[in-house]
Structure formats: structure tokens, C-alpha cells
Structure 1
Amino acid sequence: MVKHIILWTLKEMSDSEKESVKAGIKEGLEGLKGKIPGLVEIKVITSGRLASSNADLMLDSTFESEEALKGYAKHPDHVAVADGKVRPFTVSRSCLDFEI
């Protein structure tokens, strides 16, 4: 199994815009469950952020294998969410992939 963790920082925008963007990212990415081979679990954390944080939201996902993670990266449904709901609104992205 492989964990794929992403932290994003959003671009400058109003609090209400941030909440809308976070909801769209959550809906889009969590909606990929059952559509991508090898994707075991996917959740986006958008709330509960403490003041000590330096990121706005987190993706926590699990894949059957490293090959499944590579397939996810280029899967058309994932690319559509990334290009339409994530990349236009983020200023930074950190990734940690590891075997469990």
C-alpha cells in the first residue's frame, strides 16, 4: 500500500471564496473514489485548521501500489479535477508519498 499526502496553500482570496474553493476541491477529489483503479481511500481535510498551520488543506489518500499512484496522476478524471478545481486556486503544494 502507498500513502499519498498533499498539502496546499491557497492563493489570496476572501474567506468566503476560500471556503467555496475548499469545498470544490473536497467534492472533486473525494468524488474520484470508485473511478480510479487502485485508489483505496481518499479524503480531503478542509476544516479544523489551527493557527500554527502553514497550509490550508490536505489530501490523504491510499493506493494499492506505487503503480496505482502513477496511474492516478495521469488518469483523465484526476487531471480534470486538478486542472479545474485545484491548480487555479493554489500557490504551493507539498507532497509526501510513502509505503505502508
Structure 2
Amino acid sequence: MVKHVILWTLKDEFSAEEKATIKQGIKEGLEGLKGKVPGIVDIKVNINGLESSNADLMLDSTFESVEALKGYSVHPEHVAVADSKVRPYTKIRSCLDYEA
């Protein structure tokens, strides 16, 4: 199994209300990839961080293998979500991939 964890910080220009809507869209988009992208074992997006957090949301996903993760990164369904719901709104992305 391979874990793929991402922390994002949204751009400062968005209001709290806009950020809530953006986070919900990212959550729905990414979690909706399960069953569409081969090799995803589990995929969850946490949008309810505590005030002590210095990131706005987190992707916590598990893949069958390194190859499955590579396939996910270029899969058209994933690219469409990333290009429409994630990249336009985020300013910082930190990623950690590891074998579990």
C-alpha cells in the first residue's frame, strides 16, 4: 500500500465563506474519484481543521501500489478535478508519499 497525503493552503484573496465553498468542492471532487480511478483503496479530504492548523485542508489517500499512484496523477478524471477545483484556489501544496 502507498499513502499519498497532501496539505493545501488556499489563496488569501478568498473570504471565509468562499473558502468554505471551495473546500467543499475539493472534497466532493477528490472523494468522487474512488471507483473511477483504478488503484484507489481509500480517499478522504478533511476540511475541518482546528484553529491551530496552518493548512486549510488535507487529502489522505491510499493506493494499491506506487504504480497506481503514478496512474492516478495523470488519470483524466483526477486531472480534471485538480485543474478545476484545486489548482485555481490554492497557493501552497505540500505532499508526502510513503509505503505503508
Which TM-score tier does this pair reach, normalised by the shorter chain? over 0.9
Cross-structure match for 1:22: 23
TM-score by length of 1: 0.97
RMSD: 0.5
Q: Give the C-alpha shift of residue 41 in structure 1.
A: 0.3
Cross-structure match for 1:94: 94
Unaligned runs of 5+ in 1: none
1:3 aligns with 2:14: no
Q: Give the C-alpha shift of residue 63 in structure 1.
A: 0.2
Instruction: Say which SS state the counterpart of residue 88 (structure 2) adopts.
Output: helix
Instruction: Say which SS state the counterpart of residue 88 (structure 1) adopts.
Output: coil
Aligned residues with identical type, % of pairs: 73
CA distance in 2, matches of 1:76, 1:98: 23
Q: Give the C-alpha shift of residue 29 in structure 1.
A: 0.2
Unaligned runs of 5+ in 2: none
CA distance in 1, matches of 2:39, 2:17: 35
Cross-structure match for 1:73: 73
Q: Give the C-alpha shift of residue 50 in structure 1.
A: 1.9
Q: Which stretch shows the higher mean deviation, 81-90 or 49-58?
A: 49-58
Cross-structure match for 2:43: 42
Tell me the alpha carbon deviations over residues 25-65 of structure 1, each in whole angstroms, 9 at most, x when there is no partner: 00000000000111110000001x22221100000000000
Tell me the alpha carbon deviations over residues 1-46 of structure 1, each in whole angstroms, 9 at most, x when there is no partner: 0000000000011010000000000000000000011111000000
CA distance in 1, matches of 2:7, 2:70: 18
